[in-house]
Amino acid sequence: MRKSDCGRISDGAAAVVLAGRRFAEEWSLRRPAAVPRPAAIRGWGHHSAPLPLAAKFELSKDEPYMFPGVRAAITEAYQRAGIPGAGSLDVIETHDCFTITEYIALEHFGVAEPGRAWRAVEDGRIAFGGSIPVNPSGGLIGAGHPVGATGIRMLLDVQRQVTGTAGDYQVPGATTAATLNIGGSCSTAVSFVVAGTPG
């Protein structure tokens, strides 16, 4: 890998305020200019795996996915959100600390078959104008990697997408988005499905 394949460690901070539907709707009505409508976390998934790479390979030896815990976190989020898979998403924000990590994500999200992530890149489906844009924010490689804040930053970006407030990087018509945040070389994986709420 070369320097441009790696996300730069950067400073940053982020926070998410979780609220029940009634409070979020009331807050939104009091501040209509801030957020046109609240977004909702529809699904979530979390899995962990041993830290050594050899142990991860042992877990995946009979599996189609290299990191079954990553796939499980994503599919749990899909199930909790009541969607069948990536075809129901309008946009993805994923943890691309390295370009190869995005390839892993494309396969584990189901955007491409295992071992075929390169096709999603070459046919343009993950480009900004493609059928499922990935990291329109620039991701970790384009925007930096404030390690402790990265997952929250991704949630903020998909909230912006599904509420139509993403500005220059708004995916037109986006209503459902997903995130994937990983740590420890895929030793832990967290995925969310976020959707806009009726305005």
DSSP the chain: --GGGBPPB-----------HHHHHHHHHH-TTT-SS-EEEEEEEEEE--SSHHHHHHHHTTSSSS-HHHHHHHHHHHHHHT--SGGG-SEEEE--SBHHHHHHHHHHHTSS-TT-HHHHHHT-TTSTTSSS-B-TT-HHHHH-B-GGGHHHHHHHHHHHHHTT--GGGPPTT--EEEEEEEETTTTEEEEEEEEE---
pLDDT 10s digits, 135-165: 999 988 888 777 777 888 899 999 999 999 9
Per-residue pLDDT tens listing for the chain (199 residues):
787 777 777 777 777 778 887 887 787 778 766 656 678 899 999 999 988 988 988 988 988 998 999 999 999 999 999 999 999 999 999 998 878 889 999 999 999 999 999 999 999 999 999 999 999 999 888 887 777 778 888 999 999 999 999 999 999 999 999 999 998 888 889 999 999 876 5
> Which sequence spans correspond to the domains of the chain?
3-196
Q: Which CATH fold topology does 3-196 show?
A: Peroxisomal Thiolase; Chain A, domain 1 (3.40.47)
Question: What pLDDT is stored for residue 154 in this prediction?
Answer: 92
Question: What pLDDT is stored for residue 19 in this prediction?
Answer: 83
pTM: 0.89
